[in-house]
Amino acid sequence: MGQWTGNTSMALCLASSLITKRAFNPYDQLVRYKWWYKYGYLSSTGYCLDIDNVMRDSLEEFCRRQTDLNRFYGYLTEDKLDSLPIDAIYRSVGFNVNCSRQGVNGSAALARLAPIPLLYYRTPAVAVELSGLSARLTHGDDRIIDVCKYFGALITAAVRGESKEALLSHRFYDDHRDWFDWKDLHPNVRTVVLGSYKQRSNPKIVVRSTSDIIQMLEAVLWIFWTDNNSFQKGILDAINLNHDMKNIATIYGQLAGAYYGYNRIPMQWIQHIYAQKLITCTAEWLYFLSDCMTVGLEKPNETQKYVYSSSRSPSSNMVETVRQKQVHPRMLIGTVENQHDSGFVSFPKLTNSTVHTFKDFHKKKLTAARVSPWDWFRPTNE
């Protein structure tokens, strides 16, 4: 009961990459999506569940490109290949992290989006830019990329405390043009921003195709607009749709959850979520790091700065400058034993001797007392 589908697995993959790398690392994100696809990483069932054709094709293409990359570096093990730093990827000949064919449609990029605006909401322009880049990795349609930018902006604005009226205003884009780097949105997306969904009498009329991202966006916003300020009503309305209810409910939940907050979600739903502590732990880390990170896209040979607020930092007004491959501050990386020192579940170093897949846990029947939620953040390839 309460087990999640592929949308949540992909969102957890994205979140685990952002947390582990302390930056937007496109190669690492694709690696984690591949782990989910091949090994059931961060799946609630121990195997890849409910992957669509667009996502499968993109990940198969990524695997082919990794094979070429492996030839360039002289045939590494899969673990070493997956762990290559971003500068090594950029040094390789012809490696492109955008693995989708042009013009393909689908909703997976939008359904997994939330970790990016939740982490970068303090820098809205970064949140919007990275929302688009995250979509481009697996979905090559310009409409999907702009839908993700727009939806990332909505989640960012919701977390920053903007009103529902402002979020659904036809002036939302014009009032936040600087978040979009003053770039125009795709005309089809712009039509939705201007309120096309408000002209509909029923979202079932809106969604005629489960593969059309514009129709799906219209349905989600229509539900959010008519949910009577009730997260529960909105989710139930989404579930009662005949078309792609799972994806629409997931996408609605990202925006509505950001706007209404945790306390507005029915407790009986929360209590039945599978691996609830893992999801809570992930959310806490995103919240914590949202105060720390000032750099968005991970780039080679550049210093990454992490600024800590005095309210949650190891020491007041502390500014740490760390480089890739250096040890992170104790609050950010440690062992299971010191988790109570920080107030957050610690983030252990990722080694093959200490990590397991969900399937491994079920097979070995490990107890909760022996397992940190973060042990699930990397599979073994046995």
Three-state DSSP state, 166: helix
Three-state DSSP state, 104: coil
Place of tokens 């501050």: 329
- What is the distance between the alpha carbons of residues 114 and 258, in angstroms, rounded to a whole number? 9
Three-state DSSP state, 292: coil
Residue 5 is assigned to a ligand binding site: yes
Residue 123 is assigned to a ligand binding site: no
Q: If you ran DSSP here, which 8-state letter would residue 102 be given?
A: B
Half-sphere exposure of 74 (CA within 13 A, CB side): 0
Q: Are 344 and 285 in contact (CB under 8 A)?
A: yes
Place of tokens 């591949």: 34
Burial class (CB in 10 A: 0-12, 13-18, 19+), 312: middle
CA angle 134, 135, 140 (to 5 degrees): 135
Burial class (CB in 10 A: 0-12, 13-18, 19+), 342: middle
- What is the distance between the alpha carbons of residues 341 and 65, in angstroms, rounded to a whole number? 42
**DSSP character string of 7-53:** HHHHHHHHHHHHHHHSSB-HHHHHHHHHHHHHH-TT-SSSS--S--H
Three-state DSSP state, 320: strand
| Numbered residues of the known binding site for Mg(2+) | 5, 244
| Numbered residues of the known binding site | 5, 244
